[in-house]
Amino acid sequence: MKLIRTLGLAAALITTGAAHAQQQFVTVLTGGTSGVYYPLGVALSKVYGDNIPNARTSVQSTKASAENLNLLQAGRGEVGFSLGDAVSAAWTGNEEAGFKTKLDKLRGLAGIYTNYIQIVASADSGITSLADLKGKRVSVGAPRSGTELNARAIFKGAGMSYDDLGKVEYLPFGESVELMKNRQLDATLQSAGLGVASIRDLANAIKIVVIPVPAEVVAKIGDAAYQPATIPANTYEGQGTDVQTAGIRNILVTHAGVPDDVVYGMTKSMFENLDQLVAAHAAAKAIKAEGAADNLPLPLHPGAERYYREAGLLK
């Protein structure tokens, strides 16, 4: 009898061990908690946990684009959000953008919604144009984040640089807004989906002006990732008119070490549960399976490619 009990216990331990071995960790790399990446990442993590067999999901708040790409290259995460220009720079190994070598393990999962360059100044600052930012106190996003790379590009297109500003702060969205509320900053540049929580919070606290980025400035950036875009009137409290700006596509990125069936499940479950992402943030309304695999600046992961082919979206 004792032998039978011992054999039974051993069998149970082997079964438990096998189940544990099949467990798949899925860490979603996002951005600051006051941006768009974070709430979408939380929703995506839940979708993955509910739909991918044996998945143990988690969400990591990061400095966004560049950090996410470096973490994925190191295998410290399974999927992450990034701006398209940062992905292109990482895949080619653009040292000026913070990538000393090509991040060759990165793979594409999906092109998602567009980020809008949103430059917001306090009404009291007197800033109404890009030229008015000269000599002012401006936050350009966390160092080497996608937002900060966007800031460099916008100023380049406008024939300006950080040297033209009175003071440059490298801060995440939430901290930038708090400094503006306290009159310690004149303006903040934030690259995010429309209706980002940080700017909504700011616009409800003080009078703001959304600064236009004219189409001719966008053209002078010289990077196809940047396209003319519009921030519709009334996106934020006190913004009574449409405002021209630049748009950059966001991309969900994974890496070559994530199993094909897991990436297939991640891609399929996201597109089949978009309502949960929209409930987390309105920016997800722009996410569609059609076109999600087109014109990515890096190779598709085979698991994602399988989904698009099955859905008739790739030939």
- Which residues, listed in sequence order, are joined to residue 253 by a DSSP beta bridge? 80, 108
Q: What is the pLDDT of residue 98?
A: 82
With 60 as the cut, is the pLDDT of residue 3 above it? no
What's the mean pLDDT when you consider all of the chain? 92
Q: What would the mean pLDDT of 246-268 be, rounded to a whole number?
A: 97
User: Could you tell me how far CA 279 lies from the centroid of its own chain?
Assistant: 17
Q: What would the mean pLDDT of 238-244 be, rounded to a whole number?
A: 97
Q: What is the pLDDT of residue 17?
A: 47
Q: Which CATH class is domain 115-247?
A: alpha beta
Residue 37's alpha-carbon distances to 66, 177, 304, in angstroms, are 13, 17, 20
- Which residues, listed in sequence order, are joined to residue 192 by a DSSP beta bridge? 116
Distance CA 198, CA 236 (A): 11
pTM: 0.82
Q: What is the pLDDT of residue 224?
A: 82
Q: Where are the beta strands (DSSP E) in 155-281?
A: 167-169, 187-192, 208-211, 227-231, 243-255
pLDDT tens profile 72-86? 999 999 999 999 999
pLDDT tens profile 178-202? 999 999 999 999 999 899 999 999 9
Q: What is the largest CA-CA distance in the chain?
A: 87
User: Which range among 19-33, 161-175, 189-203 shows the weakest confidence by mean pLDDT?
Assistant: 19-33
CATH topology agreement for domains 23-114+249-310 and 115-247: yes
CATH topology of domain 23-114+249-310: D-Maltodextrin-Binding Protein; domain 2 (3.40.190)
Q: What is the pLDDT of residue 214?
A: 98
Tell me the domain boundaries of the chain.
23-114+249-310, 115-247
pLDDT tens profile 82-127? 999 999 999 999 988 889 999 999 999 999 999 999 999 999 999 9
